[in-house]
Chain A
Amino acid sequence: MNRQPGVHIMGTLLLFVLFSLTRDWLMTIITGTALLTVSIGAHIDDNTISLPGLILVSFLLPYSIGSIALDELYPILFYTFVVIVPIILYWGIVLSDSFFTDKFSLALSVSYFVLIPIIFYSLLIFSSMREYLLDPVNQGPQAMVISGCAVLLFIIYYLKPTKT
C-alpha cells in the first residue's frame, strides 16, 4: 500500500480545517510548512524528516485553534472529531502503511475520545465546578482537568491492558 497519497490528502485536509476554524493566515502558513515537511519526508520515504514535522503540527494546530471558547459540550466533541482524530490518523498514516487493523485496540483508542469528554463533564457535574470550569477565562484549569482525565485513562489502560 502506498502511503504517500494518504499523507498528502490528510495534510491538505488538516490545513483546510485549520484555516476555516481560525482564518489566521500566518499560523496557516507556518503549519502548512510543517505539513509540507511531513509530505516531503513521506515522499522520499524518510521518517527522520517527517517526525519533527509531525511533532510541530501536533503543537501548532491546537495552539492556533485555542481561541475557541470551551464553554459547552459541543466544542470539545467538535474539536475531537475535526482536529484530533485527523491528527491521529495523520500520525498513523505517516508512520505506517497499515495502521488501524486491530478492531479491539482501535475501539480502545476511540474510547479515549468518548471517555475524556464524559469524565470531564461528569467531573463538572459532580464537583459543582461547572460555572468555574466552563468560564472561557479559566482555560488553564480546563486544560489541567482534561490532561488529568487523559493521564488517568492512560494509566488505567496501560497498567491493565485487556487481554482476550
Chain B
Amino acid sequence: MPSMELTRRGKVLMLVPIYLFTGAYLLKNPFMALTGAGLLALLLHSRIYLDRVSSKVDVDPSIAQDTLYVGEGVKVSYMVGSERPLNISLEPSDDLENREDVRFEQTLNSKAIFESTLYPTSSGRAEVGGLKGTLSDPMGLYKVQFDHQSPIDMVVYPSKDAIRYAKTYAHRVHLEELVKDMMSFTVSSGELEEIREYHPGDRWRDIHWRSVSKLGNYMTKEYEKMALLECTVFLDMSPSMRRGKKKMDHINFLTLELLKELELSGHDIGMTVYDHRKVLFHQKPEQRRATFTRIYRALSDLPDPKEPAPYNSPRYREDITIENLKDAERQFVERVSTIRYGSPSAGLGGLVEAVKEVKRGVHKRSLVMIITDMETNPEITIKSVEKLKNMNHTVWVIIPFSPWYDLEHIDEDVLEMTYKDYIRLEKISKILYRAGAKVFEMYPGKEGLRILEEGR
C-alpha cells in the first residue's frame, strides 16, 4: 500500500479545524470547537475511504498481439477498476515513449478503460502497460501516488527500415553489384599500356616519376588489363555455415550466382568445398560445360543443414590479433609449406587442404574467392589468405553473413552480443584486409533476402 498524503485542498481543510479550535478558545465559543471536530471527521472519512478503496485498483493492458517494431504505433488499453468512485489522474509510464501526451483525468466509476498509442523508439526489451499517477477520494482531500509496475515484457524489434539499413550499410557489397562490373575481375598484367594523369585513388607506386619531373603534374602508369583465367571458389561448410536451412539456401544461391556469372563471362571456374576437418568436394578450374554441371550437382549435394542454434554465446573470438597468429603460422609452415602430399593435416581445417590443392593444381595467377563466415578457424583463414597472396593469387574473402542476419530471436542481450560480434568481425576483416585480401561483406540481394525471410 503506497503512502497516503494530503492534497493541497486537504491541507487547507486540515488548517481550518486548527483555526476553529484556536478561535473557540479565544472567543470562548464551544460550538466552533464542535465544528472543528466535524471537519476533522471529514478528513478522517476521506482517509479511511481511500485506505479501503485504493488497493482494489487494477490495471490490465491488453496489447495488440502483433509484433512491435520501432516507429510503429501500438494501441494499449488500460483497464482501471475499483469498487467505489475515485478521482484518478493517470498517465502511462512505459519504457516506450509516447508521442502524444496522454493523461487520463476523470472520475472513475467502477470500471474505466483508457487507450493510448505507444511508439517504441528503440529496439530491445521494453516494459509496456505501466500506469503512474494519483488516486484521490471523491473530495480530493487525500491522494495516493499510484505506480503500477509494468506487467508485460515486450520485445521491440528494430524497425524494418533499420534492419534493412543495417544490412545495406555502405561498404557492404551486394552480389549483383559485385558481378555487374566484369572489369573488376581483371588484374593488371604488368605490361605498360599508357601514361595518364593521376587521379585520386590511384596507387602511389604507379606514379611515373620521370613524367612528373618533366611535366610538373602527377602522372600515373596505366597497365594493360588482362582477364583472369581461373577462378576458384572456396566454400566453407563448417557447422557454423550450416546453421539453419535458410542460411544454407542463401549460400547456395550466392555461390551459384557467382559461378554462373563467372562462367558466362568466360572464366574458368572451379570450386572446393571444405569443412572444419577436410575437403568435401574439389573441382579444379576448367573451361568446360560439364564443370558447371558438376559444381551444380555438388552444391545440391552439400551436407545437411543443422538446427539453428540460439544466439546465447559470442560467435567470434576477441583475441584474434596479428600477434596471436604466430602459432597458426607455425602450424601452417609445418603442414603446408613443406609440400608433402597426403600429409595428415586433420584438425587444422579443410581450408589448409584446399590451399594445398590450389598449390598443387593452379600454377597461374588466379582469383580465389573464399566464402566463409569467419567463425570456424579464423586464424587458418587469415593465414591461408597470406599464403595465397604469397602464391600471387588474388584473394577475395566473401563473408555472406554478418551476425545481423541471425536476428531472429531478438533479445536485448542478444542484440548486445550481436553488436559485439559484429565489432569483432570488423576487426577480423581488418586483419584480412591487411593480409592482402579484398573483403566483401555481402548482404542478400532481392532473391537472397526472400530466401532468408521465408517462413519468418
Contact = CB atoms under 8 A, between A and B. Distances in A.
Interface stretch (B29-37, B153-161, B286-294): B29-37
Contacts, number: 175
A63 B42 contact: no
- Chain B facing A: main interface SS: helix
A5 interface: no
B346 interface: no
Interface stretch (B17-25, B267-275, B429-437): B17-25
A146 interface: yes
Given A63-B27, A101-B138, A146 B49 contact: no
B319 to A, nearest CB: 62
B31 A79 contact: yes
Nearest to B19: A59
Contacts of A161: 47-48, 51
A101 B53 CA distance: 11
B138 A83 contact: no
Interface in A46-68: 47, 51, 55, 58-59, 61-63, 65-66, 68
Interface residues of B, number: 46
A84 interface: yes
Nearest to A47: B9
Nearest to B46: A105
Contacts of B141: 95
Nearest to B44: A157
- Mostly, the A contact residues are helix
B85 interface: yes
A65 B38 contact: no
Contact of B34 (A108, A116, A157): A116
B2 to A, nearest CB: 14
B16 A101 contact: no
Given A66-B28, A66-B29, A96-B139, 14 more contacts: A62-B34, A66-B27, A85-B38, A88-B42, A95-B139, A109-B42, A110-B41, A139-B29, A140-B28, A143-B25, A149-B37, A150-B21, A153-B37, A158-B44
Interface of A: 47, 51, 55, 58-59, 61-63, 65-66, 68, 70, 76, 79-80, 83-85, 87-88, 91-92, 95-99, 101-102, 104-106, 108-110, 112-113, 116, 139-140, 142-144, 146-147, 149-151, 153-154, 157-158, 161-164
7 contacts: A51-B9, A79-B34, A85-B38, A95-B141, A144-B24, A153-B37, A153-B40
